[in-house]
Amino acid sequence: MNQVIVTQNLFKAYTMGTLNVEILKDINISINKGEFVSIMGPSGSGKSTLLYLLGGLDRPTSGSIKINDKELSSMSDKAESAMRRRDLGFVFQFYNLVPNLSVEENVLLPILLDGKKAKKYHERLNELLELIGLADRKNHTPRELSGGQQQRVAIARALINDPEIILADEPIGNLDSKTGIEVMKLLKRINLEKSKTIIQVTHSSESAEYGNRTINLLDGRVCQQSNEE
């Protein structure tokens, strides 16, 4: 199997006042192409921090992260940003859409930032909007959408550049249970139909069930890895 993400001896510490707090300690994991991995653990276990490190949103204190065999820590800001646009797609708990841009513009953001012509992506945009069921809301702004709809826009944004990996931080943490199930089903469909690697951070075991592997963190260490299938 192709390993799309590999971490080695990953440490992350923050300085809080005079205290040095270790959030992640010696994390060694690998994620294969097409996997749907759920990272679980109690609050403060470091699961979101791990996801951010994997997505290049934060830098590790020490250790290595390789995305498709490319070492993240040696990348320039330009290369790292390009990787976030092309190889990764993010879905956040609070959707993180740009409020003054329309649904269409939010979805096209990675394309625009990549310097590509938005017109060339209209077909893909419509396809994604159909997929998330918001084809008729593309000119609306995030303020005019419900939480579930906003999360689906975030998913479409994560997919627009056809990245290999989707990183989702508590994707249903802010949604009601019915909408949460819809969003999880959508992610699962994307995982299966489009062969995307999905890594989600979640508190919920129901949500983790949509994945095929679970990594459990406790106090910054991997305490258990289990294969659901």
Residue numbers 135-194 binding other proteins by CB under 8 A: 143, 157
| Binding track over 54-83 against other proteins, x by CB under 8 A | -x-xx------------------xx-xxxx
User: What helix, strand, coil percent values describe the chain, rounded to 5?
Assistant: 40, 30, 35
| d(C-alpha 11, C-alpha 26), whole Å | 5
- Residue 105 binds to other proteins (criterion: CB under 8 A): yes
Single residue of 110, 148, 171, 220 touching other proteins by CB under 8 A: 110
- Residue 13 binds to other proteins (criterion: CB under 8 A): no
Whether 210 and 62 have beta carbons less than 8 Å apart is answered as no
- Residue 12 binds to other proteins (criterion: CB under 8 A): no
- Residue 17 binds to other proteins (criterion: CB under 8 A): no
Question: What is the CA angle 89-61-52, rounded to 5?
Answer: 20
Residue numbers 20-59 binding other proteins by CB under 8 A: 52, 55, 57-58
- Residue 86 binds to other proteins (criterion: CB under 8 A): yes
DSSP structure string for 30-60: EEETT-EEEEE-STTSSHHHHHHHHTTSS--
Query: Least distance to other proteins from the beta carbon of 153, Å?
Result: 12
| d(C-alpha 40, C-alpha 18), whole Å | 29
Q: Which is nearer to other proteins, 38 or 49 (CB)?
A: 49
Angle between helices 147-159 and 122-132 in degrees, nearest 10 = 140
- Using CB under 8 A, list all residues that contact other proteins: 52, 55, 57-58, 77-78, 80-86, 90, 92, 96-101, 105, 109-116, 118, 143, 157
